Structure 1
Amino acid sequence: MLSASSSTTATLQTTSSSSSATTNSQTQSLIKAYFKTPEGRYKLHSEKTRPPNLLPYSYAKTISQVTVAQLKDKPSGQPTLAPSFSTTGVRSAAARLLGGNGGKALSFVGGSGYSRTSNGSSRYAHFGGSNGTHHTVNSNLGSKGSFLVFNVGDTVYISDLNSPDKDPIKALQFGNSNPVCHAFDSEAKDGHDLLIGLSSGDIYSASLRQQLQDSGKKLVGAHHYNKEGSVTSSRCASVAWVPKGSGAFVAAHADGNLYVYEKSKESAGDSSFPVIKDHTQFSVAHARSSKSNPISRWHICQGAINSIVYSEDGANLATVGRDGYLRVFDYSKEQLVFGGKSYYGALLCCAWSPDGKYILTGGEEDLVTVWSMEDRKVVAWGEGHNSWVQFQQTFVHNL
């Protein structure tokens, strides 16, 4: 805390113990303990400290993305999984992130999910869960229904929307790299229906059903793409399944590039792409080998891509970015067909109307902007927001 003073003597008071004297001396060298301003003189009166082992993401209390996942009846070809309940899990994780018992912003119950009894193998990176004390629960849980997937800090939480109690039933932790985005494909035929993108640039595809039926806090049976930044170390800002794309998905990164992956391919081979000659222009480059994954790179813009969304028919792909531009591409032709600039600042989110005729964007301009694909222009603004618009969803009734 800084307080105004007429004294020319600077005094420094700290609340640190003598055991952290070395750390304090380093901190003091970075803090200006005394300075002058037009309204007076200031001196450092006290310093707020925190435990040295507390990581920055432990302060996170904001849900960065929400995905509604609709699990259908389990295909007959998938193995039978026996669920069991673990008494340790999401309450402790919630308490670590949100403080107390996790009830400040969200209410959490104990239990991390369900246990998988059959073993499986994958030619991709595989993650196993830890074991705990198990108790039998309703076998219908995790088989089908609606689930809410959201991330806070370094954890992805899953809630059962079929239950009157909306507390999370599963917590997936990712260690030193925070999950940033996720997407769900209800039409996935191989069970791998959940995409998760991390701040490190790594991307995982996994089975939501399998995660719910496993008692651990780590992903199980996951496919790993862009492992350790093999393609790009830039933050993965948005992921999306290609509609009717037979397992293809796209991942947008903070370096302005979008990569197209095929879920059925290993993330191996020559994944390098030609050098981008002009960073101000849209360009597409394809992988040099048919075994490579990703199979193509789209250079969208110089700044970060914040959100990508397909129209329901999969014909068009909309992107918004840090530069404030909406860009709409004909996905199959790999061509830019429409674009527009925000009223002010960056665009953070976008959504299609169900009929594909309109696009909604939101961002730092504190507005919801409605763009017409037919007229290629803005047709309406939604005012009334007092801060940035970061998430949108259109409803069934047409605009």
Structure 2
Amino acid sequence: MGLAERRKVLGYSQEALAHALGVDRTTVGRWESGKALPQPPIRPKLAEVLQIGLVEVDSLVAQPQHRLQEPAESPLSDRHGSGDIDDMIRREFLRAIAITGALASLPGDDPGTLGEGMLRRASVDFLRINGHLWQVYQLARTKRTVYPIVREQLAELSKSMLGRPDSEVRVLCSAAGDLFQLAGELAFDSNRYTEAAASYTLAASASKDAGSFDLWACALVRHAYVDLYEHRYREAAGILSAAERIAKRGDSSLSTRHWVASVHAVAYAGLGDLTACERALDEAEQVRDIASSGNNGGWLRFDGSRLAEERGARYVQLGRLDLAEQALKSALEQDALAEGQSFRRRGAVLTDLAAIGARRRDPEQVIAFGGEALQLARESSSGYVARRLRDLRSEFGPLARDGRVAELGAEIDALSTA
């Protein structure tokens, strides 16, 4: 019996099982098709829901099941691997790095056909297109619509790196470190955390090879977010400590080290350390001392404009609701004056304010702010805002007996399985 059969025996749809586990329906589909495996932290919960032991879970997911078919003539079809196009692109990139490393150690022959000037122009072209894709990503209401273009760019970049000597690959590594971060952001926003982590790992590796400390540190910060959203605060703090050391070797005119500090505050708050959290937030505030904006609008966008909401969110984590509400309402007022404010950021502030209402047992506050966040999630199809709403749902407690709050909870459940 496979995972799909066990699910059906117990009467679960894919949507119902996903909701019980707190994952996306597509994640369950990928498990059942053999394209992905449940990660270790979720397996105990999966065993509980399926009413079996952990050994039986391993047996179920280890069995190859019917895979989803790729188009027969797809230029990106992976005939010898997992069948996952994204995984194929990552493996092609790693293969390119391995081959170029071997070629660099061989004397005499030049395997390349592009001159250095042509290759540098190709790198500039990739970086220019990457910058445009970051802008499209920021402005897109539905982030997933950007991914097909990013996937095509990744495939072209991997192909360009294959067979180049080490000195030339370094020129393209900055473009790869940039683009894999964007690919990770898109996966993260769709709640595909394993894929996001894989992309961030490749981004960090490419950035290191390129000798770009700021790009490298930012890749690590994004990787830490995967642990933060799984509430693995100590693991995230370890990654962020490494990012902090790397950022110190970067460009002091950039805001990298301040972004590291702001995210480090999230880990400290999760660990219940108010003093360290406020110290990190104060360090992040020093971004205002940078003469320029300190960011490039692409892989580094931290400029301190959202520090009020960050501080408010950290106080919510720490249970300091009085301080949190003041900071978050200030952030909403600032956002109302800002142009191009992202749904993701506003949705986070609204869910934090609704969570304060839940902890105070104030149904009016929960309904007002939670309802607005729900509408934003529907309009943007943001997995991030949907995830925040699921976290809010778990805060309802006795308020769930209020008919209006119960209705909001049902709409959040429906959003999570849409």
What TM-score, normalized to structure 2?
A: 0.29
- Between 1 and 2, higher relative CO (CA 8 Å, sep ≥ 6) is seen in 2
- Would you tell me which structure has more strand in proportion to its own residues? 1
- Higher gyration radius (CA): 1
Greater helix fraction, Structure 1 or Structure 2: 2
